[in-house]
């Protein structure tokens, strides 16, 4: 967690009440899994950011004072989601995760970092299409790394059910490229 101390005009420390309210705020944010919080009041500026990936991010953009915050904390159910005042809350943002591949499917993963290509050259037919039957060792795609074209082969025999990577886009080491229903 990053802490920003009180900043202001010649004042280096918060009074006891504000410090107590700040501690309560931290506990409230943790209990409600709020990832990030900003607040300014008079000469007090607070920014709290938790490490990790909590479910909700709230960042007030307007003014919210400690009294409003105390009322908000008192009205929120313990451990539940919190609804900040409409004028003060930024929308929660969630990263779109790729859909998980079905359990019965085998994922062919990239052995290297590079650029994924589904065909041997632009405009050519792809090495494999959805629904194709493949054998062990059959070329599925190319991953270009440092101007070298690396053929990625099927490590199981079966039906190509899904192409997960997008042609011409970068792929990471271990990133799923294809889903194959093994025979």
Q: Between 179 and 30, name the one with better pLDDT.
A: 179
Chain position carrying tokens 């309210």: 21
SS3 readout for 19-76: HHHHHHHHHHHHHCCECEEEEEECCEEEEEECCCCCCECCCCCCCCCHHHHHHHHHHC
Q: Between 142 and 60, name the one with better pLDDT.
A: 142
Query: Looking at domain 106-182, which CATH architecture does it have?
Result: Beta Barrel (2.40)
Q: Is the pTM of this model over 0.85?
A: no
Domain spans in the chain, listed from the N-terminal domain onward: 2-75, 106-182
Which pLDDT value is given to residue 27?
A: 78
Which pLDDT value is given to residue 35?
A: 76
Which pLDDT value is given to residue 67?
A: 61
The yes-or-no verdict on residue 107 having pLDDT over 50 is yes
Q: What count of Cα atoms within 13 Å lies in the side-chain half-sphere of residue 105? A: 17
The yes-or-no verdict on residue 139 having pLDDT over 80 is yes
For residue 20, what are the contacts with CB-CB under 8 A and spacing of at least 6? none
């Amino acid at each position: 967690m990053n802490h920003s101390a009180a900043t202001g005009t010649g004042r280096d420390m918060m009074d006891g009440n504000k410090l107590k309210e700040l501690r309560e705020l931290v506990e409230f944010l943790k209990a409600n899994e709020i990832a990030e919080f900003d607040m300014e009041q008079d000469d007090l500026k607070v920014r709290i950011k938790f490490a990790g990936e909590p479910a909700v991010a709230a960042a007030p953009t307007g003014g919210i004072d400690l009294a409003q915050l105390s009322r908000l904390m008192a009205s929120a159910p313990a451990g539940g989601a919190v609804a900040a005042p409409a004028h003060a809350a930024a929308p929660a943002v969630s990263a779109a995760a790729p859909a998980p591949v079905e359990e019965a499917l085998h994922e062919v993963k990239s052995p290297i970092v590079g650029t994924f290509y589904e065909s041997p050259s632009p405009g050519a037919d792809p090495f494999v299409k959805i629904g194709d039957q493949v054998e062990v060792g059959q070329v599925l795609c190319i991953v270009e790394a440092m101007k070298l074209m690396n053929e990625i082969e099927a490590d199981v025999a079966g039906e190509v059910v899904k192409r997960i990577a997008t042609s011409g886009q970068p792929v990471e080491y271990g990133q799923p490229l294809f889903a194959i229903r093994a025979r």
